Amino acid sequence: MKKVLIIFIALFSLVQTQAQEYANNHVIIALDARSNLKSNWSYNKAVIGDNLSKLLHANGIEDGMVSTLTYSMDSLENDLSKYTHKIAVAEDFTLEDICNYWKKLSETRDEGVRFSLLSLAKPYCLKAVKVDSDDNSAKLTYRTYLILITDLKYNGNDDFHDELRHKPGMSQSMLNKILGEVKIVQQNYFYDFISQIQLNKGYMMLFECIPQQKYFALESVAEYPHNIIAKRTKDGYSLEFGFISYNNPNYNLLKSEVFVGNETVTVNGYNKVKVLIPSNVWQKNDTIHAKIKSWVRLLDGIYNRTILSPDGAELQGKDGLNKIVVVQREPHAKILWIVPLPDFLFNMSFWTSDQAIAAGVWSVIILFALVAFIIYLIGKTMKYDPKKVGPTKYNV
């Protein structure tokens, strides 16, 4: 039984570790399988291999995960799920070994008469490495890049607008479906051109796939208080609040960091925040501010790997992931509804950690003490004293 328990704990820890696996960058390398690059293959293969790490390094992309694939459609094929041919998906890389992934991709050959359908490359290459929204072990990333290797010819010609109609078997219903899917990606992602390297009759172009979340707000993911009363304790002030999920299918709260003074607390998911604020933080001001930074997984149904970060770009929802909460301290409970409970009496209240109860008990104690003192004074005043008593008939 003990061994079973140990194995269960180990497996649970492994799942937790996998769920927390994030990469700073995800680089997708996509090769046009129809491209005329093949006629100059030896030259281009070497140029790409020599320049791949340089291109990434020049743009601050040092490591992360990489996916490699080819894109094109066989002339006899109308199944869009076969437009991309994945070689590697979300595997770890560094600049030292990135060329190994390119070497394997460059050796891939797609048979048949191919059509590039180049205008579909950017959206469909991103969709190709999508993960399920409920896959909590999937590798996620803060930033996604696409390296598109192509001759920039649309099926061997320059007819961009009528490119899809050159494909044999392209029906109007299929065309409408493709255009609808492309439109969804375009509404959700912006492909920011960064740089390119000239090849022999071709190009190696670098884009960043930026989610269009400029107007994202944390309030669309979770409910949390914007004004909080910090409860007075013997050690300071206790700040406690939670993130309550709105069950928004498009987002999932991964973690939040809360900063109050010199205190920092990290909570995962929709859990409670508990912070003890030292009393000296509030020596001068009655109000302070708690800063909240949150990280959210974007579940757009297109890619599902993006993490919206409070340290990212404005277009990636940065403003909506940095929040300020007003924190007010709980007023001192009052003894006999008049005198604020001083710290020394609160600290002496061994029977409770609640200042209201402590103030109530001290009120009762003081009342009893006052009553006892009054009784004592009355008793002392009315005490029999023979010296103060006048002559009577018995002591003539």
Mean pLDDT (the chain) is 85
3-class SS letters over the chain? CHHHHHHHHHHHHHHHHHHCCEEEEEEEEEEECCCHHHHHHHHHHHHHHHHHHHHHHHCCCCEEEEEEEEECEECCCCCHHHCEEEEEEEEEEECCCHHHHHHHHHCCCCCCCEECCHHHHHHHHHHHCCCCCCCCCCCEEEEEEEEEEECCCECCECCCCCCHHHCCCCCHHHHHHHHHHHHHHHHHEEEEEEEEEEECCEEEEEEEEEECCCCCCHHHCEECCCEEEEEECCCCEEEEEECEECCCCCEEEEEEEEEECCEEEEEECCCEEEEEECHHHHCCCCEEEEEEEEEEEECCCCCCCEEECCCCCHHHCHHHHEEEEEEEECCCCEECCCEECCHHHHHHCCCCCCHHHHHHHHHHHHHHHHHHHHHHHHHHHCCCCHHHCCCCCCCC
Q: Looking at this protein, which amino acid is placed at residue 190?
A: F
Percent residues over pLDDT 70 in the chain: 88
Does residue 359 carry a pLDDT above 90? no
Paired tokens of 183: 């439109």
pTM of the predicted model as reported, rounded to 2 decimal places: 0.81
Does residue 274 carry a pLDDT above 70? yes
**C-alpha to C-alpha distance for 179 and 201, rounded to whole angstroms:** 28
pLDDT value of position 8? 45
Does residue 389 carry a pLDDT above 70? no
Residue with more model confidence, 108 or 139: 139
What would the pLDDT profile of 316-329 be if each residue is shown by its tens digit? Answer: 899 999 999 998 88
C-alpha distance across the termini of the chain, in Å: 102
Mean pLDDT over residues 267-292, rounded? 84
pLDDT value of position 201? 82
What would the pLDDT profile of 203-224 be if each residue is shown by its tens digit? Answer: 899 999 999 998 999 999 999 9
pLDDT value of position 285? 66
| Chain center to CA of 167 | 42
**C-alpha to C-alpha distance for 312 and 144, rounded to whole angstroms:** 12
pLDDT confidence tier of residue 102, bands split at 50, 70 and 90: very high
Does residue 104 carry a pLDDT above 60? yes
Specify the residue for token string 């208080």: 225
User: Which sign does the torsion angle of CA 50, 52, 57, 62 carry?
Assistant: negative
Paired tokens of 371: 């009553």
Paired tokens of 157: 């010609």
What would the pLDDT profile of 166-179 be if each residue is shown by its tens digit? Answer: 778 878 888 888 88
What would the pLDDT profile of 376-388 be if each residue is shown by its tens digit? Answer: 888 777 766 666 6
Torsion of CA 10, 16, 17, 20, to 10 degrees: 180
Q: What is the CA radius of gyration of the chain?
A: 35
Mean pLDDT over residues 266-272, rounded? 93
Residue with more model confidence, 249 or 200: 249
Say if CB 154 and CB 119 are below 8 A apart.
Answer: yes
